[in-house]
Amino acid sequence: MNVLVINAGSSSLKYQLLNPDSGAVLAKGLCERIGIDGKFTYKPQVEGKEALKEVDVAMPTHSEAIQAVLYALVDAKNGVIASMKEIDAVGHRVVHGGEAFNKSVLITDEVMKAIEDCIPLAPLHNPANLTGIRACEKVMPGVPMVAVFDTAFHQTMPAKAYMYALPYEYYETDKVRRYGFHGTSHKYVAGRAAAMLGKKSEELKLISCHLGNGSSVTAVDGGKSVDTSMGFTPLAGLPMGTRSGDLDAGILEYLMAKYNMDIKEMVSILNKKSGVLGVSGVSSDFRDLENAGKEGNKRASLSVEMFNYGVKKLIGSYAAAMGGVDAIIFTAGVGENSASQRLAIASDLEFMGVKMDAEANKVRGEEAVISAPDSKVKVLLIPTNEELMIAMDTAAIVSGK
Ligand code: ADP
């Protein structure tokens, strides 16, 4: 079976054609500047096929973008499949499923309506995801499509973890609660962790640290998300590349009054000018911060320390919340690549049974156990693969498993 995975943004569309059983990727790429001047990138993963990089393709709407993807996939010279019939299903990443979806679903008219109903919760993302779905329906009629939600994995959180201490009607009437994000990634690495440890998911208490440009940490007890650091929006939790993470809401009133800012300006600062970029004044990219730190830039070092400290505190609190932890997982850009940050985060935790192995930790981008052999709690590096998770869910649903 081949599944086409689509991640549609407002003016971009990422795609990957893969086999969910073997994990083999046939081709992947990106349509950018949809509705502007259309740039198309195609990277076949099959020997002897040539890639296309940012070539001009007219893409006034997402439909032309999908059409360009299909043409490239079946192209006589550089295509990877003989015809569209070899695409068995399409898996769509959808950011927000609200409380309506606790797992991936086959897309029907009712599902489209429910995704539309979640637009107020993700006003930038869900409309773009819907556009991607409609474009596929138009260009590939009859091919089954599945929606995979960033929020669905976290729907198992208990009320004590997802409620905010606000007047209850804001939850009942306005759906204000913690939803959590990166669910597809947390679910994937939690599944891989069980496989690596040779245990059933039901037997394990895991803490999954997805540390990238956006970061979240999730407590996974018995295969289910029981708490997560992102909240009503992805602004919550850890300090991130440019996002503040959690802060005292009183700061908003203080700064808005002092600098005569409206709420839009304030929230824009929290989303785009804060996090490690805001503290360091250098960059939102952790590689730049590490380099600047080595050259003596104290604010760059401070921003990374704050981030690492934030992750460490979440590990401690989620271990307490679950009454223990069997393994800690590092994934995403920083988690997969930065040995120094993994070490900073997971060191000095011997009191709770975590003992890192500095040598084993000198690894990048591959599955590995990075704790010492006698560490009670295993520490794992697991590269995330959201596309594979989407393809696996899609295959399971269309084949009725
Ligand atoms: P997203 O998908 O959220 O955009 P990624 O998961 O790709 O983000 O992570 C991007 C982050 O990973 C960047 O801040 C980047 O600096 C960081 N990163 C990548 N490689 C390294 C590395 N070798 N050391 C430290 N950070 C790294």
Q: Which of 210, 242, 286, 288 to mutate to test the pocket of ligand 1 (most atoms within 8 A of CB)?
A: 286
pLDDT at position 306 is: 98
Cα–Cα distance, 207 to 378 (Å, whole number): 11
Q: Which domains does the chain have, with CATH numbers?
A: 3-149 (3.30.420.40), 199-386 (3.30.420.40)
pLDDT of residue 124: 87
Helices 263-272 and 250-258: angle between axes, nearest 10 degrees? 120
Q: In this structure, which long-range contacts are made by residues 380-383, counting pairs with CB atoms below 8 Å and at least 24 apart in sequence? A: 380/193, 380/196, 380/327, 380/328, 380/329, 380/330, 381/329, 381/330, 381/331, 381/335, 381/336, 381/342, 382/189, 382/192, 382/193, 382/196, 382/329, 382/330, 382/331, 383/331, 383/336
Tell me if 199 CB under 6 Å of ligand 1. Answer: no
Write the CB contacts of 62 (distance below 8 Å, at least 6 apart in sequence): 8, 13, 34, 131, 132, 134, 135
Q: Tell me which H or E stretch contains 264.
A: helix 263-272
Q: Walk along the chain (401 residues) in steps of 10 and give the mean pLDDT of each run.
A: 96 97 97 96 97 97 96 97 96 97 97 96 93 95 97 98 98 97 98 98 98 97 98 96 97 98 97 97 97 98 98 98 98 98 98 98 96 98 98 96 73
Catalytic-residue membership of 150 = yes
Predicted structure pTM score: 0.96
pLDDT at 270: 97
Report d(CA 180, CA 230) in Å as an integer.
5
Question: How far, in Å, is the centroid of ligand 1 from the Cα of 75?
Answer: 33
User: Cα of 333 to ligand 1 centre, how many Å?
Assistant: 3
Residue 276 beta carbon below 6 angstroms from any ligand 1 atom: no
pLDDT, position 317: 98
Which residues sit in the known binding site for substrate?
Answer: 93
Quick one: pLDDT at residue 203? 97
Neighbours of 320 (CB within 10 A): 12
Q: Are 263 and 256 in contact (CB under 8 A)?
A: yes
